[in-house]
Every structure is written in C-alpha cells, then in structure tokens.
Amino acid sequence: MRLMILSLVLLVACPVVSSQTAVMADAGVAARRVRVKDVASVEGIRDNQLVGYGIVVGLRGTGDSTQTVFPLQTLVSALERMGVNLPQNATTASMRTQNMAAVFIAATLPPFARPGNKIDVTVSSAGDARSIEGGLLLMTPLYGPDGQIYAQAQGPLVLGGYSVTANGNTRSLNHPTTGRIPDGAIVERAVPLDLTHMKKLSLLLNDPDFRTASMMADAIRQQVAGTVARAVDSRRIEIEPPSSADIPELLARVESVEIETFPRARVVVNERTGTVVIGGNVRLQPVSILHGGLVVNVISQYQVSQPNALSSGSTQVVQQTTIDAQDKPANRIELKEGATVDDLVANLQQIGATARDIISILQAMKEAQALEAELEVM
C-alpha cells in the first residue's frame, strides 16, 4: 500500500486594484473577431435525437449468447412479422443466436430535413455480443421524443475496431461492439418549422456573456439595415425583422456579421486522465508556492512458519509488516507580477511536478485567488 500526502503552501500578494485599473486591464485583453454563426444559434432551429431498437445479422459467431433473453424474443417477433411460423415444439432454448445481436440505434435529425433525406446512424450492442463486425442491420424504425417514427435505418456496419479470439487468446482494438452506417437511415417524417410565420427571431449565445450580447445587438443594427435588435439577457438577443423581409436571407446576413468577443479565461482539468489545458488569456497574480510531499510505504509480506520435526506445533502463516516513510523537501516556485502561464508551466516542469501535482497546485491557486480564470473540472 502506498500513501502519498501532498502539502501546498501559497503566499499571495494581492495588490489593491481600482476600478480604473480593472477597465484598463480588460481593454488590454486581445479581442477575437468571429462570425455570429460561430458563437450563437437561432432559437427553434435545432437538431432532434432519434433512437431505435433492432437486430444485426450476419455475424461470425460473435453475436449474443442464449443467456440473453431479449435477442431471442426480437428474433421470434421478426420472424412472425415476416410470416414465418415456428413449430409448436420450438423453444428459445433450442435456438442459436451467435450470428445475430440485439442493438440500439441512435441518430440525429437535422433541422429542415425532409422525407427522402439520408442521415448517419450509430449502432451499439445491447447484449453480450463480442463483436458486430461484418453485420447487417435489418430495417429498424427510429423514434423521436414524441413516440413518432421519423426515419428507417438499414445497412451494413462500418467499425473502427475488431476482436479476434482463438484458443482462449483474445485480441481486440477499440470498441468492436459499436459501429456506424453512413447515410444508413432515410427520413420518413419532417419536423414542421415554417420561418415565414416568425415575426421575431432570437439568437442564443453558446457561452453567456453580457458584453458579447450587447456588442452583437449593436453590430446587427449597424450592418443589417432596417432590423431592430436588442440584448434581452446574457444569452438571448431578440431581432425584429421588417414586415417585408425574407427570413432566410435575413438570417444569412445576420449569421455572417462579424463581432469582437472577449472569451473567458478558463482552465480545464480532467482528473481521470491527468490532462490540464490552460487558455492563453489566463492571468496570474504574484504568488509563492511551496510544494512538498510525504510518502509512506506500508509493505506486508507473508511467511510460513514451519515447526520442527516430531514437535507438537502446527504450520502457521505469519504476516511481516514494514513501514517506510520519506519526507521530501518542499520545492518553491515564485511568480512575480506579470508572470504568464508559460512561466508557471516552466517552473512546474523544473521541480518535476506530475500531472496530479499540477492539478492540486492549480486548485490551491484558485482558492488563494492567484489564478484569474474559471477552473472547470471534468
């Protein structure tokens, strides 16, 4: 057993910042010019998720086993719909399903999709199939949240992996139980959406920000003549088009408008994989970091105590425990005023900090208000 205790000591020098200094600092942040379509979407124009349940056939003995009940029930139902009557003495126990697998199908119905359009589908095994490589998905209806059928899926699967088993040895790559069918579903029902009856349009920002919303409304009023636009809140901008306006043409002009955005400083941390992504606009305050560790190793060994010959003793298993503690000296990092993220990363690499150590240091810096960024932990 290995126990590691990390210690962090942060000494922060936080100067008093006036409102004028804050405005000057905000003005010094580099702006980024983007199109409206890259940072916002039109309310009501959205994708819709579809889901279905079906069977994949044509596998090479890698399908569901007889211990999974619902693939057998699906097979019996499919045969009955096709007019195949099973013998009276036939039971599910006598049926073999190694060449088929029960699967769930997921797809996304894009806006303005019409009957006859084709969409991609993703197929995933729902039972204990080892692989669905080389399988063929039989015709499966895809349902929307309202329970209506919006598409029909069918076709051969395309996998990005494989699984091979021989003589008890198994070799697999990626996920052989999930595949895709490009253009594997045909739209049967359209989602009604008529733009001609929309008297008001609303834009929704992907990342809510009052400044971006206000600047977007100003840019739309200036660059799209005759249009009234105003920011309702940090995410929503309402647009009132002229009475004789062509809505698709108006939206095309609105989405091509370029605005200046000031994205938030953000640090993204994935504790599961030890990944740390630090944005370029992250600011650091003067800070001193003392980072050290106490490592405690507890080692347990089992030894067999054998009694002497002709003695009345018995064989016993004795546990031997050894405890070893190592107190590492604390490493110091000092970041002066004006330090950048590159300076922080360079100092952390010099002291040999691991990804886990960097995550702990960033969290402590955020608590000490030395990291001017939004810390997002995935």
The string of pLDDT tens digits covering residues 136-164 is 999 999 999 999 999 999 999 998 766 66
Residues 39 and 107 in one domain: no
3-state secondary structure of 171: strand
Phi, psi of 310 (to 5 degrees): 60, 20
Residues 210 and 174 in one domain: no
**Last residue within a domain, chosen from 242, 261, 280:** 261
Q: How many CB atoms lie within 10 A of CB 208?
A: 13
- Whether the Cβ atoms of residue 211 and residue 233 lie closer than 8 Å to each other: no
Query: Domain range spanning residue 109?
Result: 48-187
- Distance CA(129)–CA(141), nearest Å, equals 22
**Last residue within a domain, chosen from 261, 290, 310:** 261
Beta strands in 195-263 (DSSP E): 201-205, 228-231, 236-240, 258-261
Residue 258, token pair as written in the block: 């370029």
Q: How many CB atoms lie within 10 A of CB 185?
A: 26
User: What pLDDT is stored for residue 24 in this prediction?
Assistant: 36
| Residues β-bridged to residue 35 | 258
Residues 53 and 98 in one domain: yes
Spans of the chain, pLDDT less than 70? 1-30, 87-95, 161-174, 291-302, 310-311, 319-321, 323-330, 338
Residues 181 and 60 in one domain: yes
Residues 147 and 257 in one domain: no
Residues 53 and 183 in one domain: yes
3-state secondary structure of 264: coil
C-alpha angle 68-73-74 in degrees, rounded to nearest 5:
100
3-state secondary structure of 277: strand
| Residues β-bridged to residue 331 | 291
Residues 180 and 229 in one domain: no
* C-alpha count within 13 angstroms, C-beta hemisphere, residue 170: 9
- Whether the Cβ atoms of residue 289 and residue 333 lie closer than 8 Å to each other: yes
Phi, psi of 182 (to 5 degrees): -65, 130
- Distance CA(74)–CA(329), nearest Å, equals 65
Beta strands in 144-265 (DSSP E): 149-156, 162-166, 169-173, 178-187, 201-205, 228-231, 236-240, 258-261
Q: How many CB atoms lie within 10 A of CB 62?
A: 22
Residue 216, token pair as written in the block: 């977007």
Residues 163 and 60 in one domain: yes
- Distance CA(8)–CA(303), nearest Å, equals 40
User: What pLDDT is stored for residue 203 in this prediction?
Assistant: 93
User: What pLDDT is stored for residue 162 in this prediction?
Assistant: 64
| Residues β-bridged to residue 126 | none
Beta strands in 91-177 (DSSP E): 100-109, 118-125, 136-143, 149-156, 162-166, 169-173
Residues 17 and 52 in one domain: no
C-alpha angle 180-184-190 in degrees, rounded to nearest 5:
125
User: What pLDDT is stored for residue 286 in this prediction?
Assistant: 80
Residues 97 and 161 in one domain: yes
Residues 55 and 156 in one domain: yes
**Last residue within a domain, chosen from 227, 244, 261:** 261
Residues 237 and 274 in one domain: no
Q: How many CB atoms lie within 10 A of CB 180?
A: 14
Nearest residue to 204 via CA among 169, 237, 170: 237
User: What pLDDT is stored for residue 218 in this prediction?
Assistant: 93
3-state secondary structure of 208: coil
Residue 320, token pair as written in the block: 């031997």
Domain count, the chain: 3
User: What pLDDT is stored for residue 317 in this prediction?
Assistant: 73
- Distance CA(137)–CA(183), nearest Å, equals 13
How would you classify the pairing of strands 118-125 and 228-231? unpaired
